[in-house]
Amino acid sequence: MQLLLHHSKPGNHSDLGFIVFNSLNLILNILICVVLYKIIIFIRAEDHEKEEKRVVIYISIYLMSLPNFFNYILGQINLYVTLLILLSLYIYLKYNGMKWELIASILLGISIIIKPITIFMIPFILIIHYDLISRKLKFDVTRSFIRLIGIVLPLSLNLIMFLILPNLLDGFIEANFTSSEPSQINHSFSITKLIINFLYFTNFGIIFGSFMAIVPKIMRSTPILINSRTDSISLIPPPT
C-alpha cells in the first residue's frame, strides 16, 4: 500500500482566506442592497414616481463606489458595519415599541465595537422634535434613554473584558492612541487612522500617547484616598 502525503503550501491558506472573505463580502453586499431597497421604498413619498428605476440606480451607484471596491481589495470590514447600521435604521423607521428601539440600538452598539468611528452616530439617534408652529423643542427622554441603554449593553462587554484582563487595556490604548505598533502607522482612507497618524507625528500625539499609556498603570498601582469630610479625592503614592 502506497501512502501519499499532500503538503500544502503556505500560500494556499492565504488564497483560501481571500476567497472566503470576499465571498462573505459578496453576501453582505447582497443583504445591504436588500435593506437599502426596503428603506428607500418605505420612506418614499406617496407622490413619488411609482417605478423603481431610480432606486436601482441608487443601489448601482453604491455598488460601483470606490470605497466598496476597497472592501474587497484591502480586506476591509466596513460591510459588516454598514449592514448593522442599515438594519438598525430600518428597524427605527418601520417598527414601534420599546422592544424594537432596544434591538435597533443593540445592533448599533455592535457596529461601534467593530468600528469605533460609529460612535459619532449616537447624537443622531436622540429623539428631538421641533414644532415650527409653536416654536417649541421637545425631547423624548424615555425613547432616547432606551436607545442609549441598547448601545451601552454591547459596549459593556468590553469593560468586563478590561476588568478580567487588565493587560488588554494596555494593548488597546497602545494600538489606538500611542501607535506603538509599526503596523498602526500606515496610509489609510480611514478618518480615525488619519487622525491617529497625525497625532503620532506631532508633539501632542507623543505627549497624549505617553499619558494614555501611563494612566492604566497608575490606576492599578496607586490607591485612592477619599476624604468624607472635605469631599476630596487624593492619590496615595506607592512606597519607595
pLDDT of residue 221: 54
* Displacement of CA 182 from its chain's centroid (Å): 23
Q: Quickly state the pLDDT bin for 64 (edges 50, 70, 90).
A: confident
**pLDDT, position 118:** 85
Check whether 208 has a pLDDT greater than 60: no
Q: Say which residue, 118 or 4, is predicted with more confidence.
A: 118
Whether the per-residue pLDDT at 157 is higher than 70: the answer is yes
Cell for 207?
A: 505627549
Q: Which of 101-110, 127-136, 181-190 ranks highest by mean pLDDT?
A: 101-110
For residues 16 and 176, the model is more confident at 16
Grid coordinates standing for 111? 457596529
Grid cell, residue 229, equals 469630610
Phi, psi of 135 (to 5 degrees): 55, 45
For residues 134-142, give the mean pLDDT: 84
pLDDT of 163 over the 80 cut: yes
- The single-letter code of the amino acid at 64 is M
Mean pLDDT of the chain: 74
What local confidence, expressed as pLDDT, does residue 5 receive?
42
Q: For residue 212, what pLDDT is reported?
A: 53
- Answer for the pair 189, 197: CB distance below 8 angstroms, yes or no: no
What is the DSSP secondary structure assignment for residue 190, as one 8-state letter?
-
Mean pLDDT confidence for 37-48: 81
What pLDDT shows up at residue 110? 92
Rounded to an integer, the average pLDDT of 66-72 is 80
- Those residues whose C-beta lies under 8 Å from the C-beta of residue 82, and which sit 6 or more positions away, are 28, 32
